[in-house]
Amino acid sequence: MGEPVKIYFICIFNRARSQIAEAFAKKYGGDRVEVSSAGVDGAREIHPKTIEVMKEVGIDISQNKSKTLNMKTFVGSNVIVKLCEEAHERCPIVPFGIQNEQWDIVDPIPQIDSDLDIESFRRARDEIEGLVKELLHRLGIRETV
């Protein structure tokens, strides 16, 4: 087996979408991938609903930490996936030779807490799971599960 494919998932705060993508890529890619995630803005706590909806599918991310974009990881990646338009606009330019993916996933975290809806987190989770599986397939990585 060759070197693992390095995948970097990026969104704004690393509180929901990129955390979900990281977890699914690790689950389905196993040791054939090296996965990280980050936010282009300062790291914040992972949203509790993100943790809750991932537990629903048997993945515990309660010990994960939110991270800010790391340029060493960024330029050392084989694939960079931006999970929202905001990340696409504010992310550094992806260097030549690195696969650049753009997924426009609706942010499940509402602007106003009173609008909080667990279903928006589930929709984002399910959409991201499908996209991660598709990405791994295109990269020639079979699911480990």
What confidence tens digit (pLDDT) does each residue in 9-46 have?
999 999 999 999 999 999 999 999 999 999 998 767 89
pLDDT of residue 116 exceeding 90:
no
C-alpha separations of 83 from 8, 28, 114, 144 in Å: 10, 18, 24, 23
Could you tell me if 16 and 51 are in contact, meaning their C-beta atoms sit under 8 angstroms apart?
A: no
Domain ranges in the chain are 5-138
Residues marked active site are found at 11, 84, 91
Please state, in angstroms and rounded to a whole number, the distance separating the CA atoms of residues 55 and 14.
18
The whole-number pLDDT of residue 99 equals 97
The whole-number pLDDT of residue 144 equals 73
What confidence tens digit (pLDDT) does each residue in 68-114 have?
999 999 999 999 999 988 877 888 888 999 999 999 999 998 766 65
Q: Nearest CA to 36 among 3, 7, 70? A: 7
Amino acid residing at 130: G
Architecture of domain 5-138: 3-Layer(aba) Sandwich (3.40)
3-class DSSP state of 137: helix
Please state, in angstroms and rounded to a whole number, the distance separating the CA atoms of residues 86 and 9.
13
Reported as type and span, the H/E element at residue 80 is strand 79-82
